[in-house]
A and B are shown apart, each in its own frame.
Chain A
Amino acid sequence: MDLNRRDFLKTASIASAATAAACSIDPRTPVEHYLPYVQVPEDELPGTATYFSTACGECASGCGIVARAKEGRVVMVEGNPDWTEGRGLCTRGHFAVSSAYGPERVNGPTRGGATLEWDAATQEVVAAIKAAQSAGKQVAWLGQYRTGSLDSILSDFAAATGLRRVHWEALGVESLLAATRQAFGVSTLPTYELAGAQVILSFGLDFLGTAYGSMGMMKGWSAAKNPNSGGFVTRLVCVEPRVGITSAQADHFLPPNPGTELAVALAVARIAADKVGYANAGLLAGVDVAAASQLSGITQEKLSEIAGWITEHPSVVLPGGAANAGTLATDLAVVTYLLNDICGNIGRSVVFGKEQSYGPVSSYADARALLEDARAGKIGVLFIDGANPVYNFPTSDNAAQALDAVDFLVQFANESDDSTRAKSLLLPPGSSLEHWGDASVTTGVNTLQQPAMTPLKSSRSVGDTLLALAKAMALPEPVARQQLLLIPLGNSPTADSALTDLPPSAQPMGFAHDSFRLYVQERWKRRVYDGNGDFDAWWTGVRQSGGSFKPAAGGALPLALATTPAMPTAIAGSDLALVIFPSPTLGDGRHANRPWAQELADPISTTNWTSWAELNPKTVERLGLGVTDSVTVKTTSGEITLGFFGSPGVREDTVAVVLGNGHENMGRFGTGRGVSPMKLVSTATDSAGALATYTARASVSRSDATSDFFALIGNLTMDGRPIAMAVSAEEAAAHPTGKAGEIVEIEEVPWDRRLEEQGIHDFFPEPQHPTYRFAMAIDLNSCTGCMACVAACGMENNTPFVGPDQSRRGRVMSWIRMDRFMEGEGEYVDVRHMPSLCQQCSHAPCEGVCPVLATYHNLDGLNAMIYNRCVGTRYCANNCPYTARRFNYHTWTWPESMYLMLNPDVSVREMGVMEKCTFCIQRTRAVKDSWRDVHETVPDAALVSLTACASACPTQSITFGNAKDASGTVSKQFQSPRAYTLLGELNTKPGIRYLAKARHHVPAEKAEGPGHGGGETPAEAEPAEHKEG
C-alpha cells in the first residue's frame, strides 16, 4: 500500500480536471426553466421592481407605505415619502411582508382544517345570522379599530342587521378618548406637534414606540432633538414606572411611588398654575403640593423645577398611555390636558382641528360585557376581526369559555390564533398587500390601500366579505339620511320645518357595489374628492401617491373642566408593584407569529423570542437571584415563572413584565414562547372602562426553573470607553453649526507615536476614491433604538432569522445590531442606543487578514465582501473591532412560502460564508446605473435615504451619501461639532460617523472626547455589576 491518501487525491483530481476540461458539463448546474408571462402585465419588466403606494395594514394607523414588488411579489415595504409624515416606517410596519407570506395562511374559508367554498361559507354565515335573529339572539362584532371605508360599510351593515359593534384593542385609546371628552367635549384625539417643544413632559405615553400616532410624533421628536433646527435640544421628562423605549430617551426619568403619577401631575399643575397666574387656578385650589410630594416621593423642588420648565418654554405634556395604565388613567390624561392648557399649549403643540380618530372605540368593559353576554348564551353569531380576546383579556376572564358559548363564530384571520375555537369559521381576509382598503385617521389625511400583488392564497378582504353577506341576505339599501331644515315661522304656509336629503357625501353608501374596490372608490369620490377636475384623473393621481394628504389646519379648543380629579392613593401593599408593558416589536401580541418580530432584540433587555421580567439590580441582589435563575411573579389573579433582566430603569419596588408572548396557539413562530402576563392581571378598570394593568402588587420569588432569558448585548456599561458618546445639550445647542471636533474629538489617532514623530500617520497607503466615497452619518441624538433599521435591513438583505437556540449561541445574523448601554440610576439613568454595523473602513482590519482576498476595499469606499470567494476562515470577523461580521454556521432556511419574500437582488448565503453590511450594494449599484444612463454622478438627493436602514428610520437619524460631495448631506453631518468616529484611535478611518447624543445632565466624565482611553487604567474602572441570564 504505497499509495497514500494524498497521492490518490492528487491523481483523482487530475482525472476529474481532465474530464472537466474536455467537456464541461458543470454537474452543479441544474437545468433551469425560464417561464415568460403568457400576457404581460402593464409596465412589467422582468428584473425591474414595481412600486405601489399603499397603506400599511399592521395596525389601525394606516401609515403611507410604498411596497416594492419584484416579478409580482412584494419583497419590501418602506415609508411613503409623499405621505404626511414622510419617509420612514415603524418597526412593526415592516412585518407586513412576512405576514403576507406566513406559512400557516389558510387557503380559503376554513373550519377545523377543512376548506370550504366562499359561497358555501357565505351561505353558512347568512343562515347563522338569520337563525340568531329568529332565536332572539344578538349578532356581534369584536374587532380591532377600523377607519375609512371599512368603518363606513360596517356602520351600514350594523344598521341593517342590528350588529353589535365592539372595537377593542389591548393597547387602545379608550381612556385617552374619555379624557378628551371630559376636557374638551370631543371624541377625537388631539395631534401632538412635538417639533417646537423645548420641554416634553410625558406621563407614560410610548410616543416613540407602540403608541398610536407615533410615526408623526417621532418626526416631531427628531426635529425637537436636533440642535440645528431650533438652536435648542428638547428636554424630555418622563414620569412613569419603567424605562422603556420612550423613557430611555428621558433626560429626567422620574418614577414616582407606584400609582401616584396623578399626584405628580396635579402638583405640577398647581405650581404651574400659580406661576403663570392661570385663569382657572381655582380648579387646583384643593391640591396640596406638600402632600403630593410626600405621596409620590418626588421632592417639591423637583416638582417646582418641572413646573418651571414647562411654563417657561414651549412645551407639551403627553398623557399616560399603555405604559401607565392604572385605575386613574383617564383622570391622569385629564390633568395632562389641564397642564397643557396652563402652559398655553392647546393649539400650539396640542392641536385640534387636525385631530385623530380611530373609528368607533370601545372599552375593555364593553368588550367584557360582550363576552359575558356570550357566556350567557345571548350571542348567536360573533365576528372576530383582528382581535384576540383569549390572549388579550385577563386570563381570569376565561374568554375561551365565552367564545365556546357562542353559536356561530366567524373569524377574519389568515392564520388560526389563541381565539380560534374548533367551530370557528376562518374567513381569511388576506394581506393588506393583496387587497383594497383605506384608512383615515388624521383629519384630511386619507391613505389608500391597494393591492401590490395577487393574493398568495384564496382570500377576501373583510369589506368584500361584508358586501357578499349583504347581498346574500338581500339587505335593504339604507334609507337616505335627512336633515331637519328649520324654516322661520310664517314663511311657510304648511309647516315650520321640512326634511331634506343630506348631500351625497353624508349619505350611507349601501351595498350595491360589485366589489370593495368600487366601494372604496365611490366613497373617496363622495368624501375625499374635492370636485375639481376630472375624477378619473384625480383617482389615478391618488393611486400613484398613495392617498390624499391634505391635513387640516390645527386649532385650539376651549378646556371645559368643571372639577379636577382627586388625589390618588399609592398602590397598596408591600410587595413589588406590577407593571405590564408592551413589547416594541410584538405590540399587543398580534405580531407574535412574525419571525422577524420575534428575532429582533428588545431594545432595553436585548433578548428575543421569549418573555422576561425586569427587576432593579438591587432587587435582584435582595432576592439573591443568580443569572440563570427564574422568578415567580404572583398576584392574587395568578402566577407566572419567567427569566429576568436586571434593569436600572425600574424602581426597586416595581417589577415589570412584558406583554406580547405567551401564546397557546399562534403559529410556528409564536406558540409557546415565554409566558403571558395576562395571568397576573385582574379585571379592574379605570373610569373609562379601560383595563387597568398597573394596579396590583406582586410577590416575586426565586424559582428553580431554568431561565430562558439571555441578553444578546451582554454588557450594560461602556466600561469607561467612549463608544456611544453624549455631550451636554447646552453645549450642543450653543454649537448648532460649527466645525467637526468642536465638542467631541474626531481625529483618528496615529497608532504608533514613533511613526507620528516622522510625520507618518498610516501604515497603509490611502485608498483612492475617484468618484464616490459612500458614507453614512448616524445621529445618536434622534435615534430612539426602535429597531426599524434592523427590521428593514433583514428584509432587504435576506438575512435569515435564526431562532432562539441559535440566537443564544451568538449566531444572530442581522447586519445591524442595536447596541444598548444603560448606566447610572435614578433620575439620570443614562440609556444610549447605537445602531452598529459595518463601518466600511478605509483601513479595514478585516481586509488584510483574508487569505483569499474575499474582502477588499473598492473604489466607492466600500468594504466589499465576495461570498463565493470566501472560504470561511473567520479571520476577518476575529479582526473586526466593531464585531460587524456574521458567519453562516448553517445554511439557513425559510418556511416554504417565505422564500417568496426574499429579495432577488441579493444573494442568499449558505453555510461557511462570512457576510456583513454592504451599504445595500444592490441599491447603490442600481442608482449608479440609472445615473450612468445620463452620464452623471449620483446626486445627494438620490442617496440620502438610499440604504434600507436610512429609508426605514422614522426619525431620519441615518443619512447616507457620498462623502466626496462636499455639499452633500453626509458631508455636512460629518462636519457637525458632534461628529466622531467609533473607536477612532484604531485609525480604521470608518465610512460612518456618529453624531453624539445631546443630553441634559451628562456626567462630566462621559462628555469627554474619544481621546486616548481617558488615561485611567482599566483596573480603576468599576467592575460591571450586570446580571444577565
Chain B
Amino acid sequence: MRSLPGVALVFALVTALGVVAGCSTNAVAKPADEEIFPIGSKNLAPNTIVDIPMSASPLEIDKMTFFPEGLSVAVGDVPAEVITQPIAFPHSKHAKDMGMDCQYCHSGARKGQHAGVPPTQVCMGCHNVVASDGRPELEKLKAFWADGKGDPIPWVKVHDLPDFVYFNHKRHVLGGVQCQECHGQVQEMGVDQRVASLKMGWCLDCHAQHALDDSYGTQQELRRSELKDCWTCHK
C-alpha cells in the first residue's frame, strides 16, 4: 500500500480541478463610466476592473476586480453557486438604469449596524403605481405584500458574516468606504451575488491599508492600530 499517498493526492487534484471546472464564475461586467452613486464617488479600485474571462477561477476574479496592485487577497473565495432569490430583483434596473441611491432602499447603512433589506412597504411605495400585468416578478411582489398583510419576503442572505463578528455599516459608510468596495458592482448585477470572500484576512487587508478619512488628523496612526484590534470586529 505504499502507493496510497500518491493515489490520494491524485484523487485530491482531480477532485479540485473538477470542482474548479464546475464552478460558475460570477463575472462582473464593466461598470458604466458615469457616477451613479453620489456617496460612492471615490471608488477604491475603478481602474483595476477588467473583462474577466469565463475560465477564470473565482480567486482570480476576486483579485482582478476589486483589489488594486499591492493588496493581497485572503485565501477563501466567493461562493460557486449562483444565488437565486424568491424574487429575481434586478439591481441594475434600479441602481443603474433609474439611478436610485443604494440607501433609498438600504436605508440603515448610514444610520446603524445593518444596512437592512427594505421592508415590502418600501418596494410598494413605488410599485403601487407600477403596472405589474404580465410581469411575473412584480406579481410575486404584490402577492408578498397582500395589502400589507402578507408574509416577509424570504430573501437569501448573500453577505452572511459569522455570528461572532461585529460589523457596523454606519462606521464604514461614514468613513468613506464605497458600497462597491465590499459588495462589488451591484449596479451591474441582476440578482446580487457575493464577490468578496468576507474572510478575516480580506477584512484586515482593508483595515490595514484603506485610506482613512481626513477627520483623524494626527490620530491616523492610532486609528490604524485600532482598526487592527481584534475586538474591533470580534464580539
| Residues of A in contact with B (beta carbons under 8 Å apart) | 1-3, 7-8, 11-12, 14-16, 18-25, 29, 31-40, 45-48, 770-771, 856, 858-860, 862, 864, 866-869, 905-908, 918, 921-922, 925, 929, 932-933, 935
State whether B114 touches A37 (Cβ < 8 A): no
Chain B residues with Cβ below 8 Å from A906 are: 235
Contact of B23 among A22, A32, A925 (CB under 8 A): A22
Number of A-B residue pairs, CB cutoff 8 Å, is 177
Contact of A38 among B9, B13, B108, B148 (CB under 8 A): B148
State whether B79 touches A25 (Cβ < 8 A): yes
Cβ of B171 < 8 Å from any Cβ of A?
Answer: yes
Compute how far the CA of A859 lies from the CA of B231 in the bound complex, rounded to whole angstroms. Answer: 10
State whether A1 touches B226 (Cβ < 8 A): no
Compute how far the CA of A750 lies from the CA of B150 in the bound complex, rounded to whole angstroms. Answer: 69
Compute how far the CA of A1 lies from the CA of B4 in the bound complex, rounded to whole angstroms. Answer: 10
State whether A39 touches B121 (Cβ < 8 A): yes
Compute how far the CA of A16 lies from the CA of B15 in the bound complex, rounded to whole angstroms. Answer: 9
- Distance in angstroms from A327 CB to nearest chain B CB is 57
Cβ of B72 < 8 Å from any Cβ of A?
Answer: no
- Distance in angstroms from A796 CB to nearest chain B CB is 13
Compute how far the CA of A998 lies from the CA of B235 in the bound complex, rounded to whole angstroms. Answer: 38
- Closest A-chain residue to B159, C-beta based? A34
Chain A residues with Cβ below 8 Å from B8 are: 8, 11-12, 15
State whether B12 touches A46 (Cβ < 8 A): no
- Distance in angstroms from A70 CB to nearest chain B CB is 10
State whether A23 touches B20 (Cβ < 8 A): yes
Chain B 135-179 interface residues, beta-carbon cutoff 8 Å to A = 144-145, 148-157, 160, 162-164, 166, 168, 170-171, 174
State whether A14 touches B118 (Cβ < 8 A): no
The number of residues on chain B lying at the interface, defined by a beta carbon within 8 Å of a beta carbon of chain A, is 70
- Distance in angstroms from A16 CB to nearest chain B CB is 8
State whether A39 touches B174 (Cβ < 8 A): no
Interface centre among B9, B79, B113, B149 (most CB of A within 10 A): B113
Chain B 97-150 interface residues, beta-carbon cutoff 8 Å to A = 108, 111-114, 116-122, 144-145, 148-150
- Distance in angstroms from A915 CB to nearest chain B CB is 12
Compute how far the CA of A35 lies from the CA of B16 in the bound complex, rounded to whole angstroms. Answer: 35
Cβ of B215 < 8 Å from any Cβ of A?
Answer: yes
State whether B157 touches A32 (Cβ < 8 A): yes
A-B contact pairs, 6 of them (CB 8 A): A21-B75, A34-B157, A37-B152, A40-B119, A45-B111, A868-B234
Chain B residues with Cβ below 8 Å from A32 are: 156-157, 160
State whether A859 touches B225 (Cβ < 8 A): yes
| Residues of B in contact with A (beta carbons under 8 Å apart) | 1-2, 4-5, 8-9, 11-13, 15-17, 19-20, 22-23, 57-59, 75-81, 108, 111-114, 116-122, 144-145, 148-157, 160, 162-164, 166, 168, 170-171, 174, 197, 215, 222, 225-226, 229-232, 234-235
- Closest B-chain residue to A907, C-beta based? B164
State whether A23 touches B12 (Cβ < 8 A): no
State whether A25 touches B157 (Cβ < 8 A): no
Contacts A33-B157, A38-B145, A907-B234 known; 11 new A-B pairs at CB < 8 A = A2-B2, A3-B1, A11-B9, A12-B8, A19-B19, A21-B16, A36-B117, A38-B120, A864-B230, A929-B168, A933-B174
Chain A residues with Cβ below 8 Å from B112 are: 45-48
- Distance in angstroms from A6 CB to nearest chain B CB is 11
State whether A40 touches B17 (Cβ < 8 A): no
Interface centre among A23, A48, A856, A935 (most CB of B within 10 A): A23
Q: Which 7 A-B pairs have the closest CB atoms?
A: A15-B12, A47-B113, A18-B16, A47-B114, A35-B152, A37-B119, A22-B16
- Distance in angstroms from B192 CB to nearest chain A CB is 11
Chain A residues with Cβ below 8 Å from B144 are: 38
State whether B231 touches A921 (Cβ < 8 A): yes
State whether A929 touches B150 (Cβ < 8 A): no
Compute how far the CA of A856 lies from the CA of B230 in the bound complex, rounded to whole angstroms. Answer: 9
Compute how far the CA of A867 lies from the CA of B235 in the bound complex, rounded to whole angstroms. Answer: 8
- Closest B-chain residue to A771, C-beta based? B222
State whether A907 touches B171 (Cβ < 8 A): no
State whether B116 touches A907 (Cβ < 8 A): no
State whether B119 touches A36 (Cβ < 8 A): yes
- Closest A-chain residue to B10, C-beta based? A15
- Closest B-chain residue to A18, C-beta based? B16
- Distance in angstroms from B27 CB to nearest chain A CB is 15
Compute how far the CA of A864 lies from the CA of B111 in the bound complex, rounded to whole angstroms. Answer: 27
- Closest B-chain residue to A12, C-beta based? B8
Compute how far the CA of A618 lies from the CA of B226 in the bound complex, rounded to whole angstroms. Answer: 58
Contact of B17 among A22, A37, A929 (CB under 8 A): A22
State whether A929 touches B231 (Cβ < 8 A): no
State whether A37 touches B121 (Cβ < 8 A): yes
- Distance in angstroms from B102 CB to nearest chain A CB is 15
Compute how far the CA of A875 lies from the CA of B160 in the bound complex, rounded to whole angstroms. Answer: 33
- Closest A-chain residue to B12, C-beta based? A15
Chain B residues with Cβ below 8 Å from A770 are: 222
Contact of B58 among A23, A859, A908 (CB under 8 A): A23
Contact status of A3 and B215, CB under 8 A, knowing A39-B121, A48-B113: no
- Closest A-chain residue to B5, C-beta based? A11
- Closest B-chain residue to A32, C-beta based? B157
State whether B119 touches A39 (Cβ < 8 A): yes
Contact status of A23 and B157, CB under 8 A, knowing A15-B15, A36-B120, A858-B231: no
- Distance in angstroms from A543 CB to nearest chain B CB is 23
State whether B150 touches A35 (Cβ < 8 A): no
Compute how far the CA of A3 lies from the CA of B232 in the bound complex, rounded to whole angstroms. Answer: 45
Compute how far the CA of A31 lies from the CA of B85 in the bound complex, rounded to whole angstroms. Answer: 12
- Distance in angstroms from B46 CB to nearest chain A CB is 26
Compute how far the CA of A873 lies from the CA of B19 in the bound complex, rounded to whole angstroms. Answer: 37
Compute how far the CA of A40 lies from the CA of B112 in the bound complex, rounded to whole angstroms. Answer: 15
Compute how far the CA of A635 lies from the CA of B166 in the bound complex, rounded to whole angstroms. Answer: 59
Compute how far the CA of A29 lies from the CA of B154 in the bound complex, rounded to whole angstroms. Answer: 17
